[in-house]
Chains A and B, each alone.
Chain A
Amino acid sequence: GAGVSQTPSNKVTEKGKYVELRCDPISGHTALYWYRQSLGQGPEFLIYFQGTGAADDSGLPNDRFFAVRPEGSVSTLKIQRTERGDSAVYLCASSLGTVNTGELFFGEGSRLTVL
C-alpha cells in the first residue's frame, strides 16, 4: 500500500497478557517511530529506529515495552504483562531520512484496551 499500515486496528486484552502491534512503513522509508496517544493528549514519543537499530528508545516507559525492526522495514511493538494504564492508541510513523528532513507519515493507529 501507499501509506503506513498498522495492525490490528483494535485490540482488547486482559491485564497481564502479552500483546504485539505491527507497523508496515512506507516502502523506502529508513526512519520509523512509535508514539502512544491517550485521549485528549498529543502523541507521546516511545522509540525511533534508523534502519534496523533503535537509535533512541528513551520514551519506552519501562522494560515491559520492547520494539524490533529486524530487516529495516516492518516493526513490531511488544508489550508484556499488560496493565490497564497501557490502554491507548499506539501510532507508528515513518520518514525518508532523519526527522529534520521533513514530515512524518503516520498510520491510523492501533487502539489497545486492557481490561
Chain B
Amino acid sequence: SQKIEQNSEALNIQEGKTATLTCNYTNYSPAYLQWYRQDPGRGPVFLLLIRENEKEKRKERLKVTFDTTLKQSLFHITASQPADSATYLCALDTTDKLIFGTGTRLQVFP
C-alpha cells in the first residue's frame, strides 16, 4: 500500500543548530513534493516545492532535497530559532491532489 512516513517522535534541538526532518515514501512516484508548516490550531502554510528533476532547493534558511531513488526528502532548517517550533508536513502529488504525511513536531529551545 502507499505510505508516507515522517518521524513520529518530536524533534528537540537547541537554538542555532540545524534541524533535519525526514520524509520517506513507498509505492508512489511523485512528480514533485511539497513541505508545509502547521502551528497549533492553524491551517498548514506552504514553504517549499521541489520537482523530481531537482536535487535540492533553498529558500532563506530552508533547504530541501529530493532523492527519487531512495524515495526520500530531507528538510533542513539552518540556524534554527524558537520561532521555528511547529509541525512540519511533507506532501506528495498524485496527479490531482496532495497526500500528506503525519508530520514531525519540531521544538527549538533557547
Contacts and interface: CB of A to CB of B under 8 A. Distances in A.
A99 B102 contact: no
Contacts of A45: 97-100
B100 A55 contact: no
Interface in A25-57: 33, 35, 40-45, 48, 50, 55-56
A106 B44 contact: yes
Interface residues of A, number: 27
Given A42-B89, A42-B103, A43-B89, A99 B45 contact: no
Contacts of A102: 49
Contacts of A43: 44, 89, 100
A100 B31 contact: yes
A49 B23 CA distance: 27
Nearest to B42: A108
B15 interface: no
Contacts of B89: 42-43
Contacts of B41: 108
B102 A56 contact: no
B89 to A, nearest CB: 5
29 contacts: A35-B100, A41-B102, A42-B89, A42-B101, A42-B103, A43-B44, A43-B89, A43-B100, A45-B98, A45-B99, A48-B96, A48-B97, A55-B96, A56-B96, A59-B97, A91-B43, A91-B44, A98-B96, A99-B93, A99-B97, A100-B31, A100-B93, A103-B34, A103-B46, A106-B43, A108-B41, A108-B42, A108-B43, A109-B43
Interface of B: 4, 6, 31-32, 34, 41-46, 49, 89, 93, 95-103
Q: Which 10 A-B pairs have the closest CB atoms?
A: A106-B43, A103-B46, A42-B100, A42-B102, A43-B100, A106-B44, A48-B97, A42-B103, A108-B43, A42-B101
